Chain A
Amino acid sequence: MLTYDFMRNAFAASAIVALVAGIVGYFLVLRGQTFAGHALSHVGFAGATGAVLLGIPAIWGLVGFTLIAGLGMGVLGERISGRDVAIGVVLSLSIGLGVLFLHFYTAYATQVTALLFGNVLGVNRQTLWTLLGLAIVSLAGLGVIARPLLFASLQPELAEAKGVSLQLVSLLFLAIVALTVAECAQIVGVLLVFTLMVGPAAAAGRWTTRLGRGVALAAALALAEAWAGIALAYYTDWPTSFWITALSAAVYFASLLPFNKLRLA
């Protein structure tokens, strides 16, 4: 299976993305902002299709739109939290715009399918390098803000009193989430970003009680799910994204089982 160039690329790309998604996703779930991740991926669809229309690689449209939307959400902060209807309307509008852009592009259905559901087997060398660059930026950014981010997530009022700028931390984090969403969309598509960012992190948070182990386990689970998904897709010829979502769901539901022995403590 590894004799094929596209398979090697697929494994490398999914490894990069899964590690970032697992780590960033851990903080996303800890903060209870999973909906933000979902929202950003939808906005990314409009960005990606818009970019294709303009003849720019889809990933830069994704990055650009998710980043702008992430920063916008960070700036509005508290004012949009809980405004589910407003966010939902913007989400639908984003998908609608995506459809419009595709209409003008008169694209083939494969283009849409790849954006919505991912196309990890179509990753080329150049995309691989782009993903690696984005991953380094995301993780470096997270490394800088991790300490105040954790404090602000667990105890916002206390963090504010101790001098943490909640808004700045939230803004920077959402920018990092936006980059991660754009990366994930390359592997599993904009509709399934949850599967790598939320599933593994949620399971890791239930199986561990220590922060460091939780982050490491989230990354490990995401990586295992992504690689196993590609391998299963290779042998069954079923879509990779199906296998990754199935594994992610299986692991998450397993984490809900009340077996104390399953917990790694």
Chain B
Amino acid sequence: MRAEEEKNKAVELEDVTIALAGRAILSRISLAIESGEFIGVLGPNGSGKTTLMRAILGLIPPSSGSIRVLGEPARRGNPAVGYMPQHRHSSGSFRLSGWDFVASTVNGHRWGLPGASAADRREIDEALSLVGASALAKRPLMETSGGERQRLLLAQALLGRPRLLLLDEPLISLDPHHQRTVVGLVRELQEALGIAVLFSAHEINPLLGALDRVLYLGGGQAALGKVAEVITGPVLSRLYGSEIEVVRMGNRIFVMSGEHDLEKAEHRHDAHL
């Protein structure tokens, strides 16, 4: 019975503490994410969104507690976990095509010469068509727009048919229109493929129509639940460690500290990095 239950969990954290350079980023977190859930991961800069994802990927071992992913202990190179890191690197001045960029993932961990078999090529083409990037992939990656690039990276994350998808800030530096397109696309894929998605973002609003539950990180703590349960003054005040007011305006939510819109401020701060 226990095994059956575990199989349905995409991610399970039990009393997990993660410290980086002696500083506890997450302390004694326990939570469970069901398979097939779309989770928005929010929280201020440095609250541990990327750290949590890297821990789920098996790249950062927790200093205590256990992390289980799809019923197994978290481990590096688990093919059932797809990952889209924050995009910082580029191929410099090279005009390498999106297709070659995406294809570099296939068996990329094995020694030998690059190259895709017929089956690999089919899988790449399928992933590209799932995200509507088949035509896009012929173009050089450096000549694509931010929104187009995110599509290609999403296709790359889908290779290997993952059952859990970790998307680290896919909305960064996208305009509101492209933000909506990316969120809509991820939701569509998540429902069609029946996979679990952890989608980190600075701001809750672009995700509001799409997510099932929200995971809010702050001050080493975490709160997981429905938007109405988590994005509230008392919960966020606890996470931020200061007085937070949540203002709802139509379909939008503003997280305010005094007179400042915190999520907006985070976003602007990041844009300068």
Contacts and interface: CB of A to CB of B under 8 A. Distances in A.
Interface of A: 29-30, 32, 143-148, 150-164, 202, 205-211, 214, 263
Contacts of B93: 29, 202, 205-206
B26 to A, nearest CB: 18
B108 interface: yes
A158 B109 contact: no
Given A206-B95, A214-B96, A160 B112 contact: no
Contacts of B105: 151, 155, 158, 162
Contacts of A163: 76-77, 109
Nearest to A211: B100
A79 to B, nearest CB: 14
Interface string B86-108: 10010111111100110011011
B95 A209 contact: yes
Contacts of A148: 108-111
A157 B85 contact: yes
Given A148-B110, A158-B157, A161-B85, 4 more contacts: A147-B114, A157-B86, A209-B138, A209-B140
Contacts of A32: 92
**What are the 6 A-B residue pairs with the smallest beta carbon separation, nearest first?**
A151-B108, A163-B77, A157-B85, A205-B94, A209-B97, A161-B57
B93 to A, nearest CB: 6
Interface in B101-142: 101, 104-105, 107-115, 138-140
A239 B110 CA distance: 45
B83 interface: yes
Chain A contact residues, majority secondary structure: helix
B200 interface: no
Interface residues of B, number: 37
A160 B97 CA distance: 22
A154 B190 CA distance: 26
A129 B92 CA distance: 36
B107 to A, nearest CB: 7
Interface of B: 54, 57-59, 76-77, 81, 83-86, 89, 91-97, 100-101, 104-105, 107-115, 138-140, 156-157
A74 B269 CA distance: 34
A150 B114 contact: yes
22 contacts: A29-B92, A29-B93, A30-B91, A30-B94, A143-B112, A147-B110, A147-B111, A148-B111, A150-B104, A153-B91, A155-B89, A157-B83, A157-B86, A159-B109, A160-B59, A161-B59, A161-B76, A161-B83, A162-B77, A162-B108, A205-B93, A210-B100
Given A29-B92, A155-B85, A157-B85, A146 B97 contact: no
A210 B114 CA distance: 12
Chain B contact residues, majority secondary structure: loop
Contact of A30 (B59, B92, B110, B115): B92
A163 B159 CA distance: 15
A152 B111 CA distance: 12
Contacts of B94: 29-30, 205-206, 214
Contacts of B92: 29-30, 32, 205
A143 B108 contact: no
Given A150-B104, A205-B96, A211-B114, A156 B77 contact: no
Contacts of B86: 157
A149 to B, nearest CB: 9
A211 B89 CA distance: 17
A193 to B, nearest CB: 19
Contacts of B95: 205-209, 263
Contact of B108 (A29, A164, A206): A164
Contacts of A208: 95
B170 to A, nearest CB: 13
A154 B54 CA distance: 18
B122 to A, nearest CB: 18
B120 to A, nearest CB: 12
Contacts of B96: 30, 154, 205, 209-211, 214
Contacts of A153: 91
Nearest to A255: B93
A105 B91 CA distance: 45
A159 to B, nearest CB: 6
Nearest to A145: B111
A160 B112 CA distance: 17
A22 B155 CA distance: 31
Given A29-B92, A211-B100, A164 B85 contact: no
B110 A161 contact: no
B100 to A, nearest CB: 5
Contacts of B140: 209
Contacts of B89: 154-156
A75 to B, nearest CB: 20
B76 A144 contact: no
